[in-house]
Chains A and B, each alone.
Chain A
Amino acid sequence: MLVLRPVELADLPRLQKLARESLVGVTSLPDDSERLREKILDSCASFEKDVEGHGPENYFFVLEDPATQHLVGCSEILATAGYGEPFYSLRNRHFTSASRELNIEHGVPALSLCHDLSGHTLLRGFHIDAARVRTAHSELLSRARLLFIVAHPGRFSATVITEIVGYSSDDGHSPFWDAVGKHFFDLPYVEAERLCGLQSRTFLAELMPQYPIYVPMLPQAAQDCIGSIHPDGQEAFDILEREGFETNSYIDLFDGGPTLHARTSGIRSIAHSQCGLTQPGPVNDARGSYLVSNESLKDYRAIVADLDYIAGQPVTLDAAMCTALKVTEGSPVRLIAL
């Protein structure tokens, strides 16, 4: 049984292995042990911290097979995008070209650098072992974050966003980057993404195009990248789209990938998840698959389980489930149908 839990320092070597396999563009997961170590410590401190509102905290989760101690995936929640340093996006809006005298009026889409998404809670760093893509466990890895948010609403913003990795070719070329970013950064796409994962993104500020980029002026291949998703990012997109997330007019600065957003209270797993009290015992007549989490903070756990659950009744969990979730009789748990 795979368990989602907060990352621990002991996970470092295994996490680095995972980072090495992760997709370019998942910039929050750098293949650099020092940087990863910092990330882990930062996450540990976030889970420990008493907060009054959402701040710079970053909650880093791993998906582990306790039997083998293998890590098969990871995901993160940044409580506040753009808290300590600016959070950049490109806003895709129409510039209206109008002349009454010539009887012409039309819109020309233009990309402008902005900080509009600052202040929202950001889901990021979603990465799962290739063998588990499109399984219940990838749902768990993504959506357990939403159950965590609903269990600790004071720690998060009223809006949740996520950036989906945009298109790049198998040999690591992003047509969007080649047409836009490369001119300003003088770096290959992969290198730029690597630097972003490695160090503060603030260095970007000095290099950013400050004036709008008019979309029709870009090569067709770059235009086609706007809002398009890397095949390996499709699942992350699909899961959250089913949760009620929607695309908007913001795209990623580097690869043109789409941004998803949702009102926190309207997200399906948040709005429709239910609470119940743990009742240890055998699950005799499992009628449905659920994502189940405890309500803890630093001992947060979430699993996939087949249950015989009736709304309003205690939640029967077998011994292995109770162990995985670190719950005992009467502990509150939260669940949502898979």
Chain B
Amino acid sequence: MIVRPVQITDLSALFTLVRQASPGLTSLPADEERLAYRIRWAQRTFAGQVDRADADYLFVLEDDEQQVVGVSALTGGIGLREPWYNYRVGLTVSACADLGIQRQIPTLFLSNELTGQSEVCSLYLRPDQRLGSNGRLLSLGRLLFVAEFTQLFGNRLIAELRGSTDERGGSPFWDSLGRHFFKMDFSHADHLSGLGNKSFIAELMPRQPLYTCLLTEQAQAVIGKPHPNTEPALKILSAEGFAHNGHIDIFDGGPVIEAPVSGIRTVCDSRPLQLAIGSPDANDPLWLIHNRRLENCRITCVPARLAGSSLVVDRLTAKRLQLQPGDSVRAVPLLNQRHQAAAA
């Protein structure tokens, strides 16, 4: 398995993949024309031809038969072209000592605080490939890429996790809040949002803070609660140091998780090593390895053996990374070593 930049030749394979995913992947609409546009844009991004504000790093996961089985993305900087909105869940205290009243009321503040940060998004892995380390490779590969090219990204990485829905697939948060200002149902708003109209929609929202006690109980209950489908993604990113810091999506109330780039496990623990060819055995730990290239970026995950400042991999891996022995790689153990130690 290899993570690499998307190519225009991936269009039909990607289209098939995305069609399987929708609905549920609003940032990758199953629209061939839009997809082609996004692929071309990603190619220009990897070629270093666009500003950080517009950068869209779209990766695919390719199996050993060159089949595209997954997709994930990374943006350069959010909110630098049009405003990026979140709610920050703050607090209002209503207190009167004389009367013994002390009420703490969580309050939603419309915020552009995450402007300029980079977002990991648009991850989808074909269901039959959700095994082994594929999910981690597809997700963490992006973080290793950031580690190599920190100057291309913001100080923090964020991920917006889909919010909780009710049994009909509706969003209690939307029904209690956004609906009143848009007069449209959640799926329509979500669709517009996926088409890139997110800031237009946000402009319909009230600027003033909102007391959560005035939302329905169902809506209050889902503030900052991720959809169960996002649990695998949440688990992987949490282990990397991502945490919910009080920001939520303005539409469905789902949590935004974030981490300072310098505090992300894959970034901190990764280091440059020399590639060596050998025959690591299956008991050697899995390593996430990046060939340190931008346009011809290749990232993989294989068993490897650390020998001094060399990382020993098999010949096929070197070939897939498009590298020769002695070339530099950036690598990090796939799993947190402390966790591995604990497991052993």
Q: How large is the interface on A (under 10, 10 to 19, 20 to 34, 35 or more residues)?
A: 20 to 34
Interface string of B160-191 (1 = CB under 8 A from A): 00000000000000001100111100000000
In the complex, are the beta carbons of B182 and A183 less than 8 A apart? Answer: no
Between-chain CB contacts (< 8 Å), 17 pairs: A104-B182, A104-B204, A183-B103, A183-B211, A183-B213, A186-B102, A187-B99, A203-B96, A203-B98, A203-B99, A206-B94, A207-B95, A207-B103, A210-B92, A211-B210, A217-B177, A217-B214
Contact of B180 among A179, A184, A208, A214 (CB under 8 A): A214
The binding surface of chain B is classed by DSSP as mixed
Interface string of A198-218 (1 = CB under 8 A from B): 000001001111111110111
Q: Which residues of chain A come closer than 8 Å to B215, judged between CB atoms? A: 217
B273 CB to nearest A CB, Å: 50
- Which residues of B does A touch, CB under 8 Å? 92, 94-96, 98-99, 101-103, 105, 107, 176-177, 180-183, 192, 197, 200-201, 203-206, 208-211, 213-215
Q: Which residues of chain B come closer than 8 Å to A185, judged between CB atoms? A: 94, 101, 103
In the complex, are the beta carbons of B103 and A184 less than 8 A apart? Answer: yes
Q: How far is the CA of A180 from the CA of B176 in the complex (A)?
A: 15
Q: Which residues of chain A come closer than 8 Å to B107, judged between CB atoms? A: 211
B33 CB to nearest A CB, Å: 20
Q: Which residues of chain A come closer than 8 Å to B102, judged between CB atoms? A: 186
Identify the closest chain A residue to B205 (Cβ). Answer: A97
Contact of A213 among B94, B96, B211 (CB under 8 A): B211
A320 at the B interface (CB under 8 A): no
Q: Which residues of chain A come closer than 8 Å to B201, judged between CB atoms? A: 99, 102
In the complex, are the beta carbons of B204 and A207 less than 8 A apart? Answer: no
Identify the closest chain A residue to B105 (Cβ). Answer: A183
In the complex, are the beta carbons of B200 and A99 less than 8 A apart? Answer: yes
Q: Which residues of chain A come closer than 8 Å to B209, judged between CB atoms? A: 211
In the complex, are the beta carbons of B197 and A206 less than 8 A apart? Answer: no
Contact of B99 among A195, A209, A214, A217 (CB under 8 A): A195
- Which residues of A does B touch, CB under 8 Å? 95, 97-99, 101-102, 104, 106, 108, 110, 179-180, 183-187, 195, 203, 206-214, 216-218
Q: Which residues of chain B come closer than 8 Å to A203, judged between CB atoms? A: 96, 98-99
Q: How far is the CA of A210 from the CA of B107 in the complex (A)?
A: 11
* Most chain A beta carbons < 10 A, residue from B95, B96, B203, B206: B96
Q: Given A110-B206, A185-B94, verify A101-B211 contact (CB < 8 Å).
A: no
Q: How far is the CA of A132 from the CA of B265 in the complex (A)?
A: 80
Q: Which residues of chain B come closer than 8 Å to A108, judged between CB atoms? A: 180-181, 206
Q: Which residues of chain B come closer than 8 Å to A184, judged between CB atoms? A: 94, 103, 105
In the complex, are the beta carbons of B206 and A95 less than 8 A apart? Answer: yes
B184 CB to nearest A CB, Å: 8
Ranked nearest first, the 5 interchain pairs of A and B with the lowest CB-CB distance are: A216-B180, A183-B213, A97-B204, A101-B200, A184-B94
A213 CB to nearest B CB, Å: 6
Q: How far is the CA of A95 from the CA of B210 in the complex (A)?
A: 14
Q: Which residues of chain B come closer than 8 Å to A101, judged between CB atoms? A: 197, 200
Q: Which residues of chain A come closer than 8 Å to B103, judged between CB atoms? A: 183-186, 207
Q: Given A203-B96, A213-B214, verify A106-B105 contact (CB < 8 Å).
A: no
Q: Which residues of chain A come closer than 8 Å to B95, judged between CB atoms? A: 206-207
A293 CB to nearest B CB, Å: 42
In the complex, are the beta carbons of A187 and B214 less than 8 A apart? Answer: no
Q: Which residues of chain B come closer than 8 Å to A216, judged between CB atoms? A: 180
In the complex, are the beta carbons of A183 and B214 less than 8 A apart? Answer: yes
Q: Given A99-B201, A101-B200, verify A206-B206 contact (CB < 8 Å).
A: no
Contact of A97 among B181, B208, B210, B211 (CB under 8 A): B181
Q: How far is the CA of A210 from the CA of B192 in the complex (A)?
A: 32
B64 CB to nearest A CB, Å: 46
Identify the closest chain A residue to B212 (Cβ). Answer: A183
In the complex, are the beta carbons of A217 and B176 less than 8 A apart? Answer: yes
Q: Which residues of chain B come closer than 8 Å to A102, judged between CB atoms? A: 192, 197, 200-201, 204
Identify the closest chain B residue to A212 (Cβ). Answer: B208
Q: Which residues of chain B come closer than 8 Å to A180, judged between CB atoms? A: 214
Q: Which residues of chain A come closer than 8 Å to B205, judged between CB atoms? A: 97
Identify the closest chain B residue to A218 (Cβ). Answer: B214
